[in-house]
Structure 1
């Protein structure tokens, strides 16, 4: 079933996002005086909520449990690890690119004409708007 594969892909993306945000927060908190961690914490929490919502849907549809962020998660860790060496701006840019990629994946899932109505509603009303809000927040942090 294609919708289960879609959910599993989105699950891996959200798992990767939670791992990446946690790593970024750990890095930014280490730099005393940087307030970005206070702004990024709610974004991490929203990714955790998205992950829980997708896990519930996946379980209901008898999809495979997703406990690894897979290749994308490994790549994100490498990119963010390199960004950590380059400073705050690079960390924020890495997060922004991840958010844009996530938004593209949600849009791609919505193109599936056989996508179940409850999955479509979750993406349209909660997950994709959150991605767009995260993109806006990160863009503001980058110009500040």
Structure 2
């Protein structure tokens, strides 16, 4: 078992991505007008928020400070902010799907971690990330 600090750092990395996803979906929802698409995006955003909540509680239970800010999706958020205005819903969905790709890679990277806490969390959350990834991939296919 790794030190609580090392374990918390890895989980905070996932948390950072989940927070960034929630923020990015929020920005996308400000630009998307189609009610059916909005409903799907709200559902995916809630899934990310739920995962962020679990990760926050887990890190805090280790006596460590959960991260507060988003991370890698920041670049995607900037594209959403400007791109959705110029390129429309298809481009925004494409960018969101790229973010889901990144999130999926982050979870898979930790899938074989030797720490039982990390292994347990990833085992629980990876299927949920796969589900949100599949939803966005499907939405992207329907729009393109």
Same fold (TM over 0.5): yes
Contact 2:73 2:99 in 1 (8 A): no
Alpha-carbon shift at residue 87 of structure 1 (Å): 0.9
Over aligned residues, Cα RMSD in angstroms? 1.6
Alpha-carbon shift at residue 54 of structure 1 (Å): 0.1
Q: Deviations over 1:12-45 (max 9, x none)?
A: 00000000111111211xx3x4420011111111
Contact 1:16 1:76 in 2 (8 A): no
Q: How many residues align?
A: 137
Contact 2:47 2:132 in 1 (8 A): no
Structure 2 unmatched ranges of 5 or more? none
Query: In the alignment, what sits opposite 1:36?
Result: 37
Structure 1 unmatched ranges of 5 or more? none
Contact 1:83 1:94 in 2 (8 A): no
Alpha-carbon shift at residue 86 of structure 1 (Å): 1.1
